[in-house]
Structure formats: structure tokens, C-alpha cells
């Protein structure tokens, strides 16, 4: 297993369908990410779909999922420009319901959807990409993202991590959701604790106090596998609400980044941040104010990230 070293980077082109991830335009964007932000790490996020939050079957072979050869090509390109890589296979619901609501009865009931059928499908999805991570010498494998209603299924998660280790020899973690770090009780079987850090401006110290207790209890390294804030009015007060379209606010986004990174700098146990997100296509820099999303390209927050990563 590799030794964990602090990471600094972005989730790149998350959830893009087949045909998008390995274009020349995407490679140009990834190189810009590295050069403009001083990143050393990138998370690639192949998406699978299930019909709804109680569907037992996960499909990672449709056009909604990037093709294996595309992913491999981009991993190799990332390595060629000096980036460490992680794969984070993530399931979403086709009907638009957030994956955190995927759930079943705690005990199997005849004629009802079951964890005992969902987890084998989820495991097949994860192992498919874990084998690619091993083949391509990826630095890290992240066994899913923000599965809040599934987090309490300790036995299944422990078995999944054990199965991943049979095919992948690098660092293994799981990206829990915001406010959930203390609700995952199987961190001991992971190499690193990671979570989504979408906390309001002004609240970082109290949230880091809470997370620090988890990190100390399990004696594991920690990093934010996702974090960020949109450049929209009031997004810095609820940065996890991706639906906000309340007008552009580049300063509000920059203020959030300053607050978040200053708080993390005061905590030596925070082993890095991976921001959400960096797109596969670069918009004209002059149009940055119109991009009311999590992107920092061409925005004041980008320079804040670069200064932090360079330190």
C-alpha cells in the first residue's frame, strides 16, 4: 500500500458521459487545472445509474458512463503531466433523486427491494473500476460518495473494502457526506478518512472540531475529497445547495474559500482538499462571472486556491 501524502486538486469532469473525458479539449483543460492552481492530484468520477433510490440494480455500461478506454487514456495523460490520480466510482439515480437517499429496509422482507441484492451490484461496479485503478497504478481508490442512508451497513461496507483490496493495492478510502464523518463506524478498515466539506462560511472551526474527534479516534489521515462553493449570492451560507441560482457573486465565493482554507491551515491533520469541480471544457475567462456554479476557473477564488496549494 502507498503511504498517504497530502493532496491538492480537483474533481475533474465528474459524471461526464461516454465521449467526453479523453478529448484534446479535456486534456487542455486538465493541464490548465494543474498549471493555474498548482494542483498535484485529480479525482476522476465515472458515474453509474440506478433507476431510483430503491432500485437494486446498478448500470455502469450505458452511454451515461465514460468508457474504460477513455478513463484509462485520461489517467495516463494525468500521470504524464505529473498528477497523482484517484478513481471515485459514483452511483446516481436516473430519476434525479440524490444518491444519499438510496435505502432499503434494514431486514430483508419478501417482495421488497433489499440491501442483499443492491450491495452485490454495487460491489461489481466498484470492483470493475478498482481493477482499472490497479492496472493504471492510481494513487487512490475511493469506494463511493455520500451514501448517507447506506453508511450504517457496517458489515457490507467492510466486505466491500476487503473485496477491493483483493484487486487493488493502493490507498482505499470512502467519501462520506458533510456532517456524517462521525456516523461512519467502519473507518478502521479504510486507509484514510475523507468527506465532503460543504460547510457554511463562519462555521468551519466548529465543524473541524467535530471532525477532529473522529480523526483522533480512528488515528487515520484525513482529507476533504470534495469541497467547494458556488459563485452565486448566498451560496457561501449553504454551499451544498447546488440548485441556488440567485445571481452572480464572485466575492462571496472568494470569501468562502479564504475562510475555509484559513481554518484548514490551522489544522495540521487536514491532509488536503479536492475541490468540486473543474470542467472538461474551458469557458472564456471573460465569461467567468456568468458561470454561477462551483467552477473557480477565471474567478478570484482560483488565485486563492493557487496561493494555498503553492504553500
Distance CA(143)–CA(241), nearest Å, equals 23
pLDDT at position 158 is 98
Name the stretches of the chain with pLDDT < 70.
none
Give the residue from 152, 156, 205, 200 showing the smallest Cα distance to 178.
Answer: 200
* CB contact at 8 A, 236 and 252: yes
pLDDT at 30: 98
**HSE (side-chain half, CA atoms, 13 Å) at 130:** 25
* Per-residue pLDDT tens digits for 231-271: 999 999 999 999 988 899 999 999 999 999 999 999 999 99
In the chain, alpha helices (H):
24-37, 68-80, 115-135, 154-167, 204-218, 250-265, 300-310
Q: Which residues are CB-contacts of 39 (< 8 A; sequence separation ≥ 6)? A: 8, 9, 10, 33, 83, 309
Residues contacting 219, CB < 8 A, separation 6+: none
Distance CA 187, CA 194 (A): 9
3-state secondary structure (DSSP) of residue 31: helix
Report residue 283 CA to chain centroid gap: 22
Q: Tell me which H or E stretch contains 87.
A: strand 84-87
**Cβ-based neighbour number of residue 33 at 10 Å:** 26
Longest Cα pair distance anywhere in the chain, in angstroms?
58
Task: Judge contact between 213 and 205, C-beta under 8 A.
Answer: no
Amino acid 101: pLDDT: 98
pLDDT digits (tens, 9 = 90+) for 93-143: 999 999 999 999 999 999 999 999 999 999 999 999 999 999 999 999 999
Question: Which residue from 6, 3, 5 is spatially nearest to 272, judged by alpha carbons?
Answer: 6
CATH architecture for the domain at 7-310: Alpha-Beta Barrel (3.20)
As given in the structure block, the three cell numbers for residue 250 are 464572485
Please give the pLDDT value at position 2: 83
What is the C-alpha to C-alpha distance for residues 293 and 11, in angstroms, rounded to an integer? 14
Asked if 47 and 11 count as a contact pair (C-beta separation under 8 A), the reply is no
On the 0-12 / 13-18 / 19+ scale of CB atoms within 10 A, 14 is: buried
Ranges of each domain in the chain: 7-310
Give the C-alpha separation, 122 to 236, whole Å: 33
**196 backbone dihedrals φ, ψ, rounded to 5°:** -95, 115
pLDDT of 275: 98
| 12, 54 contact by CB (below 8 A) | no
CA distance 57 to 122: 8
pLDDT at 17: 98
Separation CA 167–CA 132 (nearest Å) = 9
Amino acid at each position: 500500500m502507498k503511504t498517504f501524502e497530502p493532496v491538492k486538486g480537483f474533481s475533474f469532469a465528474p459524471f461526464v458521459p461516454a465521449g467526453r473525458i479523453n478529448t484534446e479539449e479535456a486534456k487542455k483543460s486538465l493541464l490548465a487545472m494543474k498549471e493555474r492552481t498548482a494542483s498535484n492530484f485529480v479525482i476522476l468520477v465515472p458515474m453509474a445509474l440506478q433507476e431510483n433510490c430503491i432500485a437494486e440494480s446498478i448500470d455502469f455500461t450505458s452511454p451515461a458512463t465514460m468508457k474504460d478506454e477513455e478513463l484509462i487514456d485520461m489517467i495516463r495523460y494525468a500521470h504524464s503531466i505529473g498528477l497523482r490520480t484517484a478513481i471515485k466510482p459514483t452511483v446516481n439515480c436516473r430519476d434525479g433523486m440524490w444518491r444519499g437517499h438510496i435505502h432499503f429496509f434494514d431486514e430483508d422482507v419478501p417482495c421488497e427491494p433489499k440491501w442483499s441484492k443492491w450491495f452485490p451490484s454495487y460491489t461489481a461496479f466498484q470492483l470493475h473500476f478498482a481493477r482499472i485503478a490497479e492496472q493504471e497504478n492510481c494513487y487512490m481508490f475511493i469506494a463511493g460518495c455520500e451514501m448517507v442512508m447506506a453508511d450504517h451497513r457496517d458489515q457490507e461496507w467492510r466486505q466491500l473494502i476487503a473485496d477491493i483490496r483483493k484487486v487493488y493495492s493502493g490507498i482505499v478510502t470512502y467519501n462520506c457526506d458533510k456532517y456524517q464523518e462521525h456516523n461512519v463506524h467502519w473507518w478502521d478498515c479504510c486507509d484514510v478518512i475523507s468527506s465532503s466539506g460543504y460547510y457554511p462560511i463562519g462555521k468551519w472551526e466548529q465543524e473541524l472540531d467535530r471532525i477532529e474527534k473522529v480523526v483522533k479516534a480512528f488515528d487515520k489521515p484525513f482529507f476533504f475529497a470534495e469541497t467547494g462553493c458556488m459563485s452565486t449570492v448566498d451560496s457561501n451560507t449553504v454551499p451544498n445547495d447546488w440548485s441556488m441560482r440567485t445571481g452572480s457573486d464572485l466575492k462571496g465565493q472568494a470569501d468562502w474559500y479564504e475562510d475555509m482554507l484559513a481554518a484548514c491551515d490551522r489544522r495540521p491533520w487536514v491532509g488536503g482538499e479536492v475541490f468540486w469541480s473543474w470542467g472538461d471544457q474551458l469557458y472564456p475567462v471573460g465569461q467567468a462571472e456568468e458561470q454561477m456554479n462551483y467552477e473557480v476557473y477565471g474567478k478570484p477564488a482560483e488565485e486563492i486556491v493557487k496561493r494555498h496549494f503553492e504553500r
